């Protein structure tokens, strides 16, 4: 067996070694990573590898399966020994020793800007090492973001001010303006990166409750670090609020409610409450933490056209495949029906695959018990359908 094959075999054995964490990417948790940073002694996925390539002084990467691990190219024996004594779990323990509870750790399906700034914070800026400076909860934050206009697609520079201790986020249409355009309570706020929907690699969607509706703000910043810092500052403010609102709950139960991604989004067609109205195409977004299915005419609308609160099965909520007898969709035939105590919502999906994905997501919400935080929104439970 040649050097290359022998070295590759040893690397693959390291990937499968138990109690090392090597079977998942050291940075985003993706399964079956097939790249190695031999300078850090970790195994990473292809997406995170692309970020590591940007700072060769800190990390050097090679493919476990595709690149040559030849003794003449690198000192493989030394590298392998280094990786044996490190491995993902040990390196994570070193570089993630003090990650604040509010700091979002990206997962495999998250957008690139979150992964990039997480990796840079860990290895380049070394923000979370045990001997680093203590990271406290951010207080106030002020800066400018590009915000999409409510009634048009133009992004304009707007001043944002976060007052974490007061539990407020404000934004202003004039740089020196004294009167904010909106004052947003942290209690009702969520933030989620929606880069594809917004059409910008740093696109962030901020939502909050206003007059019984969900208001959407679509913003971005040219700097990836700046937009991720804003995102984590909003999470920190949410953590402060939730600790005061639910002092009896441990921090670990509050962290999942700091911010959340939509469980599923996409177009479906819906008919009205009588099931005799024409089917109309709408953009749907499923917020599993607030147990709400929201729908919009367009993905970037400022307000939803309607929403469905999703209780659980014991309360009479249900989702099942197909359409009620005698009802046919317009263009799409793969149907599903949501039953609430107030009414039935009849929908059609563009494909059977989409139908099954929606059903799986909806049933997952309906089968889960209501949490204390769900009950904050249950008081405004709604099967509203305005359009």
Buried b (16+ CB within 10 A) or exposed e, 1-12: eeeeeebbeebe
- 150 lies in the same domain as 230: yes
DSSP 8-state code for residue 341? S
CA angle 273, 277, 278 (to 5 degrees): 135
Classify residue 233: in a domain, yes or no. Answer: yes
- 272 lies in the same domain as 213: no
Among 226, 255, 284, the domain-final residue is 255
Cα 290 to Cα 222, 307, 366: the distances in Å are: 31, 11, 12
- 159 lies in the same domain as 190: yes
User: Which residues, other chains included, contact 264 with Cβ-Cβ below 8 Å and sequence gap of 6+?
Assistant: 284, 285, 286, 357, 358, 361
Classify residue 180: in a domain, yes or no. Answer: yes
- Report whether pLDDT(386) > 50: no
Q: Contact at 8 Å (CB) between 234 and 224? A: no
- Report whether pLDDT(349) > 90: yes
- 173 lies in the same domain as 69: no
Among 209, 233, 255, the domain-final residue is 255
Classify residue 387: in a domain, yes or no. Answer: no
Query: What pLDDT is attached to residue 24?
Result: 95
Among 124, 159, 179, the domain-final residue is 124
Classify residue 247: in a domain, yes or no. Answer: yes
Classify residue 5: in a domain, yes or no. Answer: yes
Query: What pLDDT is attached to residue 134?
Result: 60
Token pair of 348 as six digits: 């059609």
Classify residue 131: in a domain, yes or no. Answer: no
Classify residue 20: in a domain, yes or no. Answer: yes
Least reliable range by pLDDT among 82-96, 149-163, 194-208, 305-319: 82-96
- 147 lies in the same domain as 64: no
Query: What pLDDT is attached to residue 376?
Result: 54
Query: What pLDDT is attached to residue 337?
Result: 95
Token pair of 35 as six digits: 């790249």
Residue-wise pLDDT for 94-119, tens only, equals 999 999 999 999 999 999 999 999 99
Domains in the chain, number: 3
- 318 lies in the same domain as 372: yes
DSSP 8-state code for residue 113? H
Rounded to the nearest integer, the mean pLDDT of the chain is 89
- What's the mean pLDDT in 31-47? 92
pTM: 0.89
DSSP 8-state code for residue 82? H
- 75 lies in the same domain as 150: no
Query: What pLDDT is attached to residue 75?
Result: 56
| 80 vs 182: which has the higher pLDDT | 182
Q: For tokens 């059609």, what's the residue?
A: 348
Q: For tokens 């690699």, what's the residue?
A: 201
Residue-wise pLDDT for 48-74, tens only, equals 999 999 999 999 898 888 877 765 555
- 302 lies in the same domain as 225: no
Angle separating helix axes 76-85 and 87-95, nearest 10 degrees: 70
Which structural domain range is residue 89 located in? 1-124
As a whole number of angstroms, the distance between CA 261 and CA 108 comes to 13
User: Which residues, other chains included, contact 328 with Cβ-Cβ below 8 Å and sequence gap of 6+?
Assistant: none
Domain of residue 29, CATH code: 1.10.220.150
- 165 lies in the same domain as 250: yes
- 104 lies in the same domain as 214: no
As a whole number of angstroms, the distance between CA 302 and CA 324 comes to 32
Q: Contact at 8 Å (CB) between 138 and 164? A: yes
Domain of residue 234, CATH code: 2.30.29.30
Classify residue 178: in a domain, yes or no. Answer: yes
Give me the torsion for CA of 196, 199, 203, 205, rounded to 10°.
-70
Query: What pLDDT is attached to residue 382?
Result: 43
Alpha-helical runs (H) found in 39-194:
46-52, 76-85, 87-95, 112-119
- 172 lies in the same domain as 119: no
- 274 lies in the same domain as 247: no
The gap from C-alpha 70 to its chain's centroid, in whole angstroms, comes to 40
Q: Contact at 8 Å (CB) between 310 and 384? A: no
């Amino acid at each position: 067996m040649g050097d290359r094959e022998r070295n590759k075999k040893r690397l693959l054995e390291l990937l499968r070694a138990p109690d090392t964490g090597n079977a998942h990417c050291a940075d985003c948790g993706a399964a079956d990573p097939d790249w190695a940073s031999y300078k850090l002694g970790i195994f990473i996925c292809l997406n995170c590898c692309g970020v590591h390539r940007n700072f060769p002084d800190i990390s050097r990467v090679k493919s476990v399966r595709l690149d040559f691990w030849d003794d003449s190219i690198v000192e493989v024996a030394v590298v392998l020994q280094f990786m044996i004594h490190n491995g993902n779990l040990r390196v994570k323990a070193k570089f993630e020793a003090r990650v604040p509870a509010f700091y979002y750790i990206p997962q495999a399906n998250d957008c690139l800007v979150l992964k990039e700034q997480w990796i840079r914070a860990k290895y380049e800026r070394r923000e979370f090492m045990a001997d680093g400076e203590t990271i406290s909860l951010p207080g106030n934050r002020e800066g400018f973001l590009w915000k999409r206009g409510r009634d048009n697609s133009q992004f304009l520079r707007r001043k944002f001010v976060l007052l974490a201790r007061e539990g407020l986020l404000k934004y202003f249409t004039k740089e020196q303006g004294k009167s904010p355009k909106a004052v947003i309570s942290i209690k009702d706020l969520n933030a989620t990166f929606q880069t594809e929907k917004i059409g910008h690699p740093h696109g962030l969607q901020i939502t909050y409750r206003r007059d019984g509706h969900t208001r959407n703000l679509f913003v971005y910043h040219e700097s990836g670090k700046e937009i991720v810092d804003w995102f984590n500052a909003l999470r920190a403010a949410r953590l402060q609020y939730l600790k005061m609102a639910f002092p009896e709950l441990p921090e670990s139960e509050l962290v999942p409610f700091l911010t959340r991604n939509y469980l599923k989004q996409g177009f479906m067609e819906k008919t009205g409450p009588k099931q005799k109205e024409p089917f109309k195409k709408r953009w749907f977004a499923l917020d599993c933490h607030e147990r709400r299915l929201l729908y919009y005419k367009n993905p970037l609308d400022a307000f939803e056209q309607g929403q469905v609160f999703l209780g659980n099965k014991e309360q009479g909520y249900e989702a099942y495949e197909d359409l009620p007898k005698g009802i046919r969709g317009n263009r799409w035939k793969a149907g599903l029906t949501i039953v609430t105590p107030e009414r039935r919502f009849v929908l059609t999906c563009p494909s059977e695959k989409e139908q099954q994905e929606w059903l799986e997501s909806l049933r997952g919400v309906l089968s889960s018990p209501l949490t204390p935080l769900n009950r904050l929104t249950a008081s405004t439970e709604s099967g509203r359908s305005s359009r």
